[in-house]
Amino acid sequence: MSDNNMHDSITTRILNDPRYQELKTKRTRFGGWLTLAMLVVYYGFILLVAFDKPFLATRLSAGVTTIGMPIGLAVIVFTVVITGIYVYRANREYDALTDAIAKAALTGALK
């Protein structure tokens, strides 16, 4: 019971911390935009395959390589890069914010 009360007070303190609201809003918004970007790129690619096959089979030059090849490769690279962008930002910005929030909430709990 006392354990629960302690958790409740920590939770309340975090909820009242403006940095928590900042973290929540920033992360949700950033994650949402990146999710949308991934959906647009993947389903854009799939719809291109479904509706405009000749475009993907267009030759780039005199050779046989088609425009579909770099596009397909780009979707793979995009998938890895967009994951990297999120992780890079989260590891710097969000973790620093989380640490600050945790520190404030937990030291408050010890008083």
Partner 1 sequence: MIARPFTSAAVRTLATLLLMAAANAALAAGADLGQADKQATNWTAIGMFAVFVIGTLFITKWAAAKTKSAADFYTAGGGITGFQNGLAIAGDYMSAASFLGISAAVMVGGFDGLIYSIGFLVGWPIVTFLLAERLRNLGKFTFADVAAFRFEQTPVRVFAASGTLVVVAFYLIAQMVGAGQLIKLLFGLEYWIAVVIVGALMMVYVLFGGMTATTWVQIIKACLLLAGASFMAFMVLYNFGFSPEAMFAKAVEVKTGIAAAAGKSPQDAAAQGFSIMGPGGFIKDPISAISFGMALMFGTAGLPHILMRFFTVPNAKEARKSVLWATTWIGYFYILTFIIGFGAITFVLTNPQFLDAKGGLLGGGNMAAIHLANAVGGNVFLGFISAVAFATILAVVAGLTLSGASAVSHDLYSTVIMKGKADSAAELKVSRLTTVALGIVAVALGIAFEKQNIAFMVSLAFAIAASANFPVLLMSVLWKDCTTRGAVIGGFLGLASSVLLTLVSPAVWEVTLGNPKGSALFPYASPALFSMTIGFVGIWLFSILDRSPRAAQDRAGFVAQQVRSETGIGASGASGH
List binders of partner 1 among 36-65 (CB under 8 A). Answer: 38, 42-43, 45-47, 49-51, 53-54, 56-57, 63-65
Binding mask 2-31 for partner 1 (x = CB under 8 A): --x--xx-xx--xx----x--xx--x---x
Q: Which residues of 39-76 are buried (b: 16+ CB within 10 A; e: fewer)?
A: eeeeeebeeeeeeeeeeeeeeeeeeeeeebeeeeeeee
Q: Which residues contribute to the site for partner 1 (CB under 8 A)?
A: 4, 7-8, 10-11, 14-15, 20, 23-24, 27, 31-32, 34-35, 38, 42-43, 45-47, 49-51, 53-54, 56-57, 63-66, 68-69, 72-73, 75-77, 79-80, 82-84, 86-87, 90-91, 95, 98, 101-102, 105-106
